[in-house]
A and B are shown apart, each in its own frame.
Chain A
Amino acid sequence: MGLLSRKATCNSHGQDSPYFLGWQEYEKNPYDEAKNPKGIIQMGLAENQLSFDLLESWMAKNPDAAGFKRDGQSIFRELALFQDYHGLPAFKKALVDFMAEIRGNKVTFDPNHMVLTAGATAANETLMFCLAEEGDALLLPTPYYPGFDRDLKWRPGVEIVPIQCTSFNRFQITASALEEAYQQAQKKNLRVKGVLVTNPSNPLGTTMTRGELDLLINFITAKEIHLISDEIYSGTVFSSPAFVSIMEVLKDRNLENTEVWDRVHIVYSLSKDLGLPGFRVGAIYSNDPIVVAAATKMSSFGLVSSQTQYLLSAMLSDKKFTKEYISKNHKRLQKRQSKLVSGLEKAGISCLESNAGLFCWVDMRHLLSSNTFEAEMELWKRIVYDVKLNISPGFSCHCTEPGWFRVCFANMSEDTQKLAMQRLKSFVDSMTINSQSHQELKNARRKSRTKWVFRLSFQSFHDREQDER
């Protein structure tokens, strides 16, 4: 009998991946404009650091919220004691209103259907515990957030079966890909309990089309399974097309209060939209009261600090503030993204056209020595060690095509971003100088399509220290 549990000694947490090399290297040698200008620039961290000034100025104008006060009176005691897993009513109300505002008020949410959790990390894991048994499977479109391997598989024991998406059609989900994934699961004797999508997508930075959402609804209806829509980037949509929530589509198709309505669940968080990952604010929104009841009880294992609930209930109830924040934040994200895109273009690198997220999905296939993941790993190491940029390789996101990388743009200053692009350009230029072999390979490149999930020992690129997305 082992001393510890199987969970403690396996590596389903996914953090033994060799890809944390990038993080390690960054930590050993982090870029600093003044103190370490030759250090590694962190571009693997999907954080929104562009709008803290707006938060800071709100704090300055609202000292009560910060100081455990209401109307000048201290409510420290009440907050310190408040551990009701139903959450602070004022906070939930403010949060659902904020979510509605982000969706252009085309849908509204009922606070009684919302469950607060310690970050989206806890929300996703909790949904697994509620919707699936150990050994069941969930279908996820690739590429996907590496942390899902931990959140869905580790303690709940759920298997992930990929829905293969490719650059042929901008990585959109197709009916045949859905069906193929389902069949693959059946072949492996896995019972499929649902589909989990991230919309807007991490790592693609794109919003799902109405067509894709319709497809998903049709699919889960036919298979009688769940749909989880992780919408934590919904507030980062900075250009058209506008964000379309799964709830909106259900509503438009008059599917409210039907069977499928109960099987759609949304995950939300303030880590990306408000740039507050440290505060651990996540939420599950479900139309099924049984799921809400079970998830609420489970949230005991990871409630949101009442101190934080109170602060944010005040902040998000300030509609003037939320309107200004959403608008300014979008503008800044758009500006920064377009600077990244043009910087990459100057280096002869293109990316997937995107309208959301805190990153771009960058196409470096032409820089690979061969159309393989070994070559991608090679290129990635060079970028980390030589170019000194920590970016995320597509393999870690389970992408089926080698050569794609996720590059973040919202977690650094404009100057740092400029420098990063300069370094990249120099690197590519130097590669072009050795262009002969490069050209040959480019001509010889085959569009091979990798079929099944990779069974290599590393599964996820995941920072051993940070829950980055």
Chain B
Amino acid sequence: MERTRKKGQLLSRMATNDRHGENSPYFDGWKAYDENPFHPSQNPDGVIQMGLAENQLCFDLIKKWILENPDASICTAEGVDKLKNIAIYQDYHGLKEFREAVAKFMERVGGNRVTFDPNRIVMGGGATGANETVMFCLADPGDAFLVPAPYYPAFARDLRWRTGLEIVPVDCKSSNNFRITRAALEEAYEKAQSSNINVKGVILANPSNPLGTVLDRETMRSLVSFVNEKGIHLVCDEIYAATVFSSPRFISIAEIIQDMDCNRDLIHIVYSLSKDMGFPGFRVGIVYSFNDVVVNCARKMSSFGLVSSQTQYLLASMLSDEEFVGNFLRESSKRLARRHSVFTKGIEQVGISCLKSNAGLFFWMNMRPLLKEQTAQGELELWRAIISEVKLNVSPGSSFQCSEPGWFRVCFANMDDETVEVALERIRAFVLQGKEEDAPDQKSQRWHKKSLRLSFSSSRLYDESPMSPRMLSPHSPLVRART
């Protein structure tokens, strides 16, 4: 005991506090999946992973490109001439061809309606590192950022943990489809300021995680005028930009400020290839700021999370292949649209609705009719039932700080078609079962009554990232290779 207490003083508060956010009770779903992962033949009753926002639909296209372009690797016979120069390249500016390729890709994803300057492209350790870096540049410990809720759970860690910042949620409601209203922004801002919380800016994801919607032009213009008025920053996390699969189209904040009178020093973009391309393992995060001081500062800070030059080189080659990129973006959209439709129509058939969405790797499902009580507790109960009985790991709205109970984020792009069918079947069965009014036995009421005691583990990730190699597709050879 003495040694433990001493230990607590020996390490930093940061090392021993909870602000990394991983001790939240909501990783129960991850644990359940980990212990019992679904496999179509080997474990057909296992838990299906629907809490992981990954884009696994287009790897066949990438694989083909890799095979056809051996010189993109510095390790193949065709590319090994470049090995030395790339292996020693640690310049925090990043390879010129990499920055140019990323800038071009971002332009393409933005519908070619904006241009991005490669000299403003700054690397970050994934969007995770990029978001943290932006916070380090814009605010001091104790300052706060407004974040429209519901929002990506790991913002709690990325924006707050090591930076010492606070998050002030801006409440959005289903009554207007979770739109961000000027009134809500003003209210949150005033409330913070009057409590002596120094608000430094607004940060949001567009397209939204978990909603899967894009911001409309009016809302974006309103955001820009809001931050200009207050003299605070606007950070747009656009990592899902290329996952838009139907109209309305994605509009980058870069496009909006083109036609607005605005202090550009306040505008910053975070980008990544983890969602649009499906490359979370490659850790490609990007900070793009219109503020020169921020570009310079973020670039120096990127020393703490540079992209491996081997990866920069590969992606520079891949993303400058315009034909490949065009084809990829088209196919990806198509496949996402199809998958989204299969799911949403499938659950509609059993009377479950979702928020109308046109982007992202997930949909925002409305399970409010199934709640025993319209409370957070009611949502928790329903969620536990979904995990333990329906055996689906979906993410409850409260983990996204949604103020209305009953919403769930369901990911659809991280599984094969076979698994999709099984998942749909299970949802349908569960919903229909819950609707049986005259249940002679306890079965249909079971999930209402059962007090589920899932134990808490304190070693799980609280965000999209898998904890163990088993989180990958059960077919993964990496799974088998685990030492």
Contacts and interface: CB of A to CB of B under 8 A. Distances in A.
Interface of A: 1, 3-9, 13, 15, 47, 49, 52, 55-56, 59-60, 63, 65-68, 70, 73-86, 88-90, 93, 111, 118-119, 121-122, 125, 129-134, 150, 155, 224, 226, 259, 262-263, 271, 275-281, 288, 290-291, 293-295, 297-298, 300-308, 311, 465-467
8 contacts: A5-B137, A56-B80, A59-B75, A70-B481, A77-B56, A150-B300, A277-B89, A290-B11
B469 A89 contact: yes
Given A80-B282, A84-B469, A5 B12 contact: no
Given A67-B66, A129-B162, A278-B88, 5 more contacts: A3-B231, A80-B282, A129-B12, A278-B90, A306-B283
A301 to B, nearest CB: 4
A133 B13 contact: yes
Interface string B48-66: 0000001010010011001
Given A4-B138, A56-B83, A79 B281 contact: yes
Contacts of B305: 118, 122, 301-302
Contacts of B132: 301
Given A77-B59, A90-B483, A280 B11 contact: no
Given A66-B76, A278-B310, A74 B63 contact: yes
B222 interface: no
Contacts of A271: 90
Given A4-B137, A279-B310, A118 B294 contact: no
A305 B125 CA distance: 9
Nearest to A124: B304
B269 to A, nearest CB: 17
Contacts of B477: 70, 73, 75, 78
Given A84-B468, A122-B305, A130-B14, A305 B91 contact: no
A150 B294 contact: no
Contacts of A465: 91-93
A271 to B, nearest CB: 7
Nearest to A270: B87
Interface string B1-36: 001001100111111100010100000000000000
B432 interface: no
Contacts of B20: 294, 297-298
Contacts of A47: 88
A89 B482 contact: yes
Contacts of A311: 75, 310
Contacts of A81: 54, 56, 278, 280-281, 472-473
Contacts of B66: 67-68, 74, 76
Contacts of A55: 83, 87
B90 A277 contact: yes
Contacts of A278: 86-90, 308-310
Contacts of B10: 131, 224, 226, 263
Contact of B311 (A78, A262, A301, A308): A308
A467 B309 CA distance: 14
Contacts of A5: 136-140, 143
B278 A59 contact: no
B483 A303 contact: no
A355 B300 CA distance: 33
B183 interface: no
A289 B83 CA distance: 37
B466 to A, nearest CB: 6
B471 interface: yes
B341 interface: no
A286 B198 CA distance: 38
Nearest to A301: B129
User: In this complex, which of A5, A59, A89, A130 has the most chain B Cβ atoms within 10 angstroms of its Cβ?
Assistant: A5
Contacts of B453: none
Contacts of B22: 297
B51 to A, nearest CB: 15
Contacts, number: 281
Contacts of A75: 476-478
Contacts of B478: 75, 78-79, 82, 88
B75 A66 contact: yes
Contact of A279 (B140, B141, B294, B309): B309
Given A84-B467, A129-B12, A305-B282, A4 B293 contact: yes
A426 B72 CA distance: 46
Interface string B120-143: 000001101100100011111101
B483 A89 contact: yes
A465 B302 CA distance: 11
Given A5-B140, A131-B12, A465-B93, A86 B87 contact: no
Given A66-B73, A275-B88, A307-B308, A300 B469 contact: no
B109 to A, nearest CB: 18
A78 B199 CA distance: 41
Contacts of A308: 308, 310-311
A89 B301 CA distance: 28
Given A80-B59, A129-B14, A294-B15, A306 B469 contact: no
B282 A306 contact: yes
Contact of B137 (A8, A73, A74, A129): A8
A84 B30 CA distance: 13
A335 B77 CA distance: 30
B306 interface: yes
A6 B90 CA distance: 26
B353 interface: no
A289 to B, nearest CB: 10
User: In this complex, which of B54, B266, B282, B304 has the most chain A Cβ atoms within 10 angstroms of its Cβ?
Assistant: B304
Given A82-B469, A300-B157, A467-B90, A131 B11 contact: yes
Given A52-B83, A84-B466, A67 B70 contact: yes
Contacts of A13: 297, 300-301
B11 A49 contact: no
A80 B63 CA distance: 11
Contacts of A90: 481, 483
Contacts of B316: none
A90 B482 CA distance: 7
B286 to A, nearest CB: 14
A142 B468 CA distance: 42
Contacts of A131: 10-12, 15
Contacts of A298: 20, 161-162
Contacts of A294: 11, 14-16, 20
Contacts of A89: 469, 481-483
B77 A119 contact: no
Nearest to B143: A5
Interface in B74-106: 74-77, 80, 83-84, 86-93
